[in-house]
Amino acid sequence: MSDDQHGSTITEKILARASGRERVRPGDLVMAKVSLAMANDITAPMAIDAFRKIGVPKVWDRDRIALVPSHFVPAKDIASASLGMRMRTFAREQEITHFYEVGRAGIEHILLPEDGLVAPGDVIIGADSHSCTYGALGCFSTGVGSTDLAGVLATGEIWLRVPETLRIVYSGKPGRWVVGKDMILKVISEIGDDGALYMAMEHSGDTIAHLSMESRLTLTNMAIEGGAKSGIVPPDDVTVDYVKHRQQVHGRERPFDTAVSDPDARFARTLEIDVAALEPMVAQPSLPSRAVPVSEVEGQEVDQVFIGSCTNARMEDLRTAAALLDGRKAHPRIRLIVIPATQDLYQQALHEGLIQVFADAGASVAAGVCGPCLGGYMGVLGPGERCLSTSNRNYRGRMGHRDADVWLANPAVAAATAITGRITHPENVGALV
């Protein structure tokens, strides 16, 4: 069958429509119209500088740009305060509709879907590597550098090479403690850190119907840890209900396209994962691909537990952690840090009593900031320290000193580990305390 005869993947369909073409194939270069452009407090100032050099007076569309302070907020020092000032000044000059001030925002990759700004069929370009997250809603989303984003700010378009697609087919119903974090860690352990290099990572199979939107967002969030250009989950009823609800809450109703891959679409590779046989996974230092079942590393002592980041700081994550911590204390030898991803999530957790549970357990609680995930602040690790984190990267020096060790896991494993002071399967908490 020739390239003109077989069907298209969902990624190919989205990029064809965005570039005004009937169809595209992997390797094609396209100029795609952008639905939403995003930058944060680290990447926006560089993008702003590059935009000014282009020489155009105004951004292409002030309603399709989101500027989100998230990494160093509130400002931790003079340098981070200056970054925030430059971002804020530009937003006022350009009258950017979606500028999120400190205390009214949060981590962009959780904030923007919840704010009703992402929909199936969109093309989302973000100046942050985890901009692949938004693909959980059935859109094409990817991260770029600040210079590329400056071009988008000026023109509303970006050139892209159409990626091949790695299709991952999940089967079986997840066990009690298995969520999207475990599934994507299993995938990365199978393909390696560059096994999906410049591919679209498409998540499919009957297991997807059992996943919440929170777990789907975790799947696509970590596409980049497998080298992928983007991650995507074909839209279904769960997607449509979520998107329509978020749009209605924020008064942003608009039509969207729920295309899926054709039955005869071509994939570069298909990987099958039996989720029913999966147990919670833990990525060992210092690569996400070094993920193993929690039973293989259970008992490893840690100094700190971090529950947060753009990977696992949503309500489902907070509820899971609080359910295990309720009535219990964090081990006296460890530090427990909990950071709900947005101000709205913090307020909801406060309303549900989850913040009280964390406080009673001895946790340090903040809100709406990346915190120690990137070694920024609020929990930076010293030499030789060991941390179990719900974030997405555990490279050397990622969360602090190069001699610190970081394990990655889901929120249930994190909460269980906080209670016992060593890596623990959630089902074993009762027997160990």
Q: Would you give the distance in Å from CA 70 to the centre of its chain?
A: 13
pLDDT of residue 402: 96
| Residue 433: pLDDT over 90 | no
pLDDT bucket at 431, cuts 50 / 70 / 90: low
Portion of the chain with pLDDT greater than 90, in percent: 97
Q: Which amino acid is at 48?
A: I
Q: How big is the CA angle at 215 (ends 214 and 217), to the nearest 5 degrees?
A: 65
pLDDT bucket at 276, cuts 50 / 70 / 90: very high
| Residue 170: pLDDT over 90 | yes
Taking the C-alpha atoms of residue 405 and residue 389, their distance in angstroms, rounded to an integer, is 10
Please state the rounded mean pLDDT for residues 398-426. Answer: 98
pLDDT of residue 3: 57
Average pLDDT along the chain: 97
Smallest CA-to-CA distance from 390 within 341, 328, 326 is with 341
Q: How big is the CA angle at 400 (ends 396 and 403), to the nearest 5 degrees?
A: 50
Torsion of CA 245, 307, 346, 98, to 10 degrees: -60
Report domain extents, the chain.
10-272, 281-432
Question: Among 3-12, 30-39, 131-140, 157-166, which stretch is predicted with the lowest mean pLDDT?
Answer: 3-12
Let me know if domain 281-432 sits in CATH 3.40.50.720: no
pLDDT bucket at 5, cuts 50 / 70 / 90: confident
Torsion of CA 297, 299, 305, 310, to 10 degrees: 20
Q: Is the model more confident about 199 or about 6?
A: 199
pLDDT bucket at 432, cuts 50 / 70 / 90: low
| E strand segments, 172-280 | 199-204, 230-232, 269-274
pLDDT of residue 264: 97
pLDDT of residue 176: 96
Inter-residue contact 159 to 33 (CB < 8 Å)? no
Smallest CA-to-CA distance from 66 within 232, 330, 288, 250 is with 250
pLDDT of residue 239: 98
Instruction: Indicate if 281-432 has the same CATH topology as 10-272.
Output: yes
Q: Would you give the distance in Å from CA 182 to the centre of its chain?
A: 14
pLDDT digits (tens, 9 = 90+) for 60-78: 999 999 999 999 999 999 9
pLDDT digits (tens, 9 = 90+) for 316-365: 999 999 999 999 999 999 999 999 999 999 999 999 999 999 999 999 99
pLDDT digits (tens, 9 = 90+) for 113-167: 999 999 999 999 999 999 999 999 999 999 999 999 999 999 999 999 999 999 9
Smallest CA-to-CA distance from 36 within 61, 13, 56 is with 61
| Residue 175: pLDDT over 90 | yes
Taking the C-alpha atoms of residue 39 and residue 126, their distance in angstroms, rounded to an integer, is 6
Smallest CA-to-CA distance from 73 within 91, 89, 90, 85 is with 85
Helix (H, G, I), strand (E, B) or coil at 363: coil
pLDDT bucket at 2, cuts 50 / 70 / 90: low
Global pTM reads 0.96
Q: Which amino acid is at 160?
A: L
CATH topology of domain 10-272: Aconitase; domain 3 (3.30.499)
